[in-house]
Amino acid sequence: MEEIEFKESTPLTMGVELELQLISPRDCDLTRAASDLLALTESARHPGEIKPEITESMIEVSTTVHERHAPLCEELQVIRDVLVAAADRLNIEVSGGGAHPFQRWHERQIYDRPRFNHVADLYGYLAKQFTVFGQHIHIGCANGDDAMYLLHALGRYVPHFIALSASSPYYQGVDTAYDCSRLNAVFAFPLSGRAPFKLSWSGFTEYFHKMQAAGIVESMKDFYWDIRPKPEYGTVEIRVCDTPLTVNRAAALAAYAQVLCHKLLAERDDRLEKLGEDVYLAYQYNRFQACRFGFDGVIIDPYTQQMSTLRDDILATIAESYRSACALHATQAINDLVYMARIEGNDARWMRERYAESASLEDMMWRQAQRFRAPPRVSPKKGRAVRQERQLWPARP
């Protein structure tokens, strides 16, 4: 059987896709605006791409391929500014966040495109309920085997990405008690979850052809896995992140993925092969802990069976990968993540704090949109906090 071609790409390059919410400033609900917004951004010059998504209240932006965190972050800011300027002319707000806090999903309108209409027909109400907003991170791989190795090795860190990006505590008008409720909407799809445990590209191709022959899938797009290979781009794609409230955080998450991959490739050994499919034993449980409790979730390391809170696990992982962060010039981004895990908390916490102040989800949604818009605030106060952060690093082993 013919192998699917895995397009070679420069290892450890990265790209980001963000799904964003379009909000009416009048009632802070999702609004139909994608096609009007796209009509405006089409004529504007900007890097990356701005594309329609499945409903009219949603838009997707993607960056070009980057080797370093700083230019990636800059490009995301430029795209954001173009979007916000266009949105201002239409009196709509663009916002991050993994789910809209109080939209009624049955009011969503499917964007008129053959693929979207097909998805809507196939999945019925799930398609509309799937009005959730995620960040996808692509990491370039030299070949398919590397991609499959990274895919399964990254599985252990999936809870990190969930806790760091979580920004969907409210859904359908209530506090779900989860930091990330968005993934619960994804789990409803039959082809969600994790990829099959194949460590070689040929093994994976074989699996894919079987699924195709059985008529279960047509293309790779039909898999909604947490991490999936993207042979056309030559990348692995991490899909568990909620869209953060700021593009800076989105860039920092991408940098974290890049650092982890750098470390995993540099320290590649036979641990994963030895452990085999058992690497996924605690996977669902860990993922649930991350969604439900964020940094306070307790996860089990599949290799050592040790239990620890996600906060400690993230900080320990970051401490271990300091060398990779330096090599990739990503220390700034990693510092921000440490500050977040230690002190600031994730976006879900920020949202709960805002809601506690006003007791109004509308008001919270509005501030969330303002947070997306605001240029990075480099107030002297925060600058100090970040600098102090270096001393908060856990001791390097």
Chain contacts with another protein (rule: CB under 8 A): 24-28, 31-33, 36, 39-40, 56, 86, 88-91, 106-107, 109, 112, 358-363, 366
Which amino acid, residue 245?
A: L
Question: Minimal CA–CA distance to 87: which of 123, 54, 40?
Answer: 40
Q: How far is the CB of 246 from another protein (least distance, A)?
A: 21
Q: How far is the CB of 175 from another protein (least distance, A)?
A: 15
Q: Rank residues 86 and 252 by Cβ distance to another protein and give the closer one.
A: 86
Q: How far is the CB of 45 from another protein (least distance, A)?
A: 17
How far apart CA 37 and CA 35 sit, in angstroms, is 5
Q: Rank residues 84 and 386 by Cβ distance to another protein and give the closer one.
A: 84
Strands (E), the chain: 14-23, 49-52, 58-62, 93-95, 134-140, 170-171, 174-175, 192-193, 224-225, 227-230, 235-242, 298-300, 307-309
Q: Rank residues 4 and 84 by Cβ distance to another protein and give the closer one.
A: 84
340 exposure class (CB count in 10 Å sphere: 0-12, 13-18, 19+): buried
Question: Minimal CA–CA distance to 135: which of 265, 19, 276?
Answer: 19
Q: How far is the CB of 101 from another protein (least distance, A)?
A: 12
Q: Rank residues 299 and 361 by Cβ distance to another protein and give the closer one.
A: 361
Q: Rank residues 36 and 206 by Cβ distance to another protein and give the closer one.
A: 36
How far apart CA 307 and CA 300 sit, in angstroms, is 5
Q: Rank residues 64 and 91 by Cβ distance to another protein and give the closer one.
A: 91
Render 25-64 in DSSP notation, one character per residue.
Answer: TTT-SB-S-HHHHHHHHHTS--SSEEEE-SBTTEEEEE--
Query: Which of helix, strand or coil describes residue 376?
Result: coil
CA distances from 220 to 192, 239, 290, 309 (A): 12, 14, 27, 34
Q: Rank residues 27 and 232 by Cβ distance to another protein and give the closer one.
A: 27
Phi and psi of 104, rounded to 5°? Answer: -100, 115
